[in-house]
Amino acid sequence: MADRRAVIMGAGITGVLVARELLLAGWEVTVLEAKHVGAGSSSRTAAGIRQQFSTPGTVRGMRYSVGFYQRFAEEVEDGTCPIVQNGYLFLHADQRRWEQAKQTAAMQRDAGLTEVEVLEHADLRARFPWVGPEAALGATHCPTDGFLLPHLVYNEGARRVRELGGALLQTAPVTEATLQADRVVAVKTPKGTFEGDLFVDCTNAWTHRLAAILDAQPLEVCPYKRYIWFLQRDGPMTAQQLSTMPLTITPQGTYVRPENEDTLMMGRKHVAEPELGFAYEDQDHIDTRFSHSGGVDAWPFELWMELSEVVPSVAEFAGIQATTGGYYAETPDHNPFLGYDRQRANLVRLVGFSGHGAMMGPFTAKIALSLCEAGADVDSVEVDGAAVSLDAFRIGRDLSKRERMVI
């Protein structure tokens, strides 16, 4: 096993799926988690999964992720499939954006997403009659997209890591490191010191702090608070209609999806300040302006009213029942950093997932295995027989070219 001992820091969706992938390839793996499995954004996510992206490489990568999550049902102890393929519907009300969306759908089809559909207004209304008549010019829809059951991914992922012979320690924050020349030799936690040949940073929103401990490169990853709200069904929308709804993005940028047959999840990015030093408890802190109990002047009520213009039956829902919060670890171009650190030669960084780390998890794990096996950055990985360039994820890339389809 010499040279193949990996120490993975962070046990969210990324950390456990990377650990599983390395174990299956014969690596000896130790996962160190500061709190508990899923303590970060993996347990606070809307967990939407879509293949509708603006670059062919990401479309192919997310296609791989969808296939992985379907197959992962075989590894879940009770066989539950962790992906709910209700589809993903992007509504468009602006003519210029709608034309652009149709061109993007053509590119997605060329990249292998053959099932993506362009629904002009009449088709949209026929397929999804709950969309208001004036709400959109049209929509793109991909029926194999949807959302994940994130707890199944990280909990069953962690169970698989142990089943495959990996060590996974909780309440084991990395607090110090032994460094030699440009390499990490060992990391220290309250549960012991762990040596490795390779170290993998899966701490996402905490990556700045880990980088300081490892004297690694500070990356452009900023934590921003994000909220999700839960609305209770009432009025004419039936349980059947709600539970089969695709994840829907309104022209204004609000996203909604069923949480269960009586509850609609709603989210929307707001203008926020970066919070580099946030505490674990801050994830659960709900600012009154963003709380379901913040009164009718609070933002979620404004969003609920706005949503009612797009999905009129939602106006008759019983109310907003709950709010949850977490952090996006955002990069300037909304793509993660997946590659070797420039200061620590045996440190792989897999961080900065912005709003799409849950869906990227399997693709990230595939890339991580290539990186670990190569011992250096790689130009591409093979997905379904096609080479997918990793330029968009390279550390040190030009950050001015942004992923356009971000939520």
Query: What's the min distance (Å) between Cβ of 273 and ligand FAD?
Result: 16
Query: What's the min distance (Å) between Cβ of 14 and ligand FAD?
Result: 3
Do 253 and 269 touch, CB atoms closer than 8 A? yes
Torsion sign (Cα): 141, 139, 43, 38: positive
Three-class DSSP category at 364: helix
**Subset of 352-371 contacting ligand FAD (CB under 6 A):** 353, 355-359
Query: What's the min distance (Å) between Cβ of 48 and ligand FAD?
Result: 3
3-state secondary structure string across 19-38 = HHHHHHCCCEEEEECCCCCC
Q: Which is nearer to ligand FAD, 313 or 356 (CB)?
A: 356
- If one asks whether residue 13 binds ligand FAD (CB under 6 A), the answer comes out as yes
203, 250, 323, 346: which one contacts ligand FAD (CB under 6 A)? 203
Token code pair at residue 202: 């899966």
Angle at 29 between CA 24 and CA 31, to 5 degrees: 120
10, 138, 196, 362: which one contacts ligand FAD (CB under 6 A)? 10
- If one asks whether residue 202 binds ligand FAD (CB under 6 A), the answer comes out as yes
- If one asks whether residue 39 binds ligand FAD (CB under 6 A), the answer comes out as yes
Do 326 and 229 touch, CB atoms closer than 8 A? no
**Subset of 111-150 contacting ligand FAD (CB under 6 A):** none
Q: Which is nearer to ligand FAD, 255 or 313 (CB)?
A: 255
Query: What's the min distance (Å) between Cβ of 195 and ligand FAD?
Result: 16
19, 32, 136, 365: which one contacts ligand FAD (CB under 6 A)? 32
- If one asks whether residue 155 binds ligand FAD (CB under 6 A), the answer comes out as no
**Subset of 230-269 contacting ligand FAD (CB under 6 A):** 267
The crossing angle, in degrees rounded to 10, of helices 357-374 and 56-72 is: 100
Q: Classify the phi-psi angles of 38: left when phi > 0, otherwise alpha if psi is within -120 to 50, otherwise beta.
A: left
- If one asks whether residue 210 binds ligand FAD (CB under 6 A), the answer comes out as yes
C-alpha to C-alpha distance for 169 and 220, rounded to whole angstroms: 28
Q: Which is nearer to ligand FAD, 31 or 135 (CB)?
A: 31
Note the helical H segments in 261-356. 299-310
- If one asks whether residue 23 binds ligand FAD (CB under 6 A), the answer comes out as no
Query: What's the min distance (Å) between Cβ of 365 and ligand FAD?
Result: 11
Q: Which residues, in sequence order, are bridge partners of residue 32?
A: 9, 169
C-alpha to C-alpha distance for 332 and 222, rounded to whole angstroms: 9
Q: How many CB atoms lie within 10 A of CB 325?
A: 18
- 195 CB contacts (<8 Å, ≥6 apart)? 5, 7, 185, 186
Per-residue x/- marks for ligand FAD, 308-327, CB under 6 A?
A: ------------------xx
Three-class DSSP category at 227: strand
Select the span of 40-48, 52-60, 81-89, 238-246 touching ligand FAD (CB under 6 A): 40-48
- If one asks whether residue 214 binds ligand FAD (CB under 6 A), the answer comes out as no
- If one asks whether residue 51 binds ligand FAD (CB under 6 A), the answer comes out as no
Q: Which is nearer to ligand FAD, 15 or 166 (CB)?
A: 15
Select the span of 35-43, 71-79, 155-163, 234-242 touching ligand FAD (CB under 6 A): 35-43
**Sheet strands (E) in 55-124:** 83-84, 88-92, 117-120
Contacting positions for ligand FAD (CB under 6 A):
9-15, 32-35, 39-42, 44-48, 173-174, 202-206, 210, 226, 228, 267, 326-328, 353, 355-359
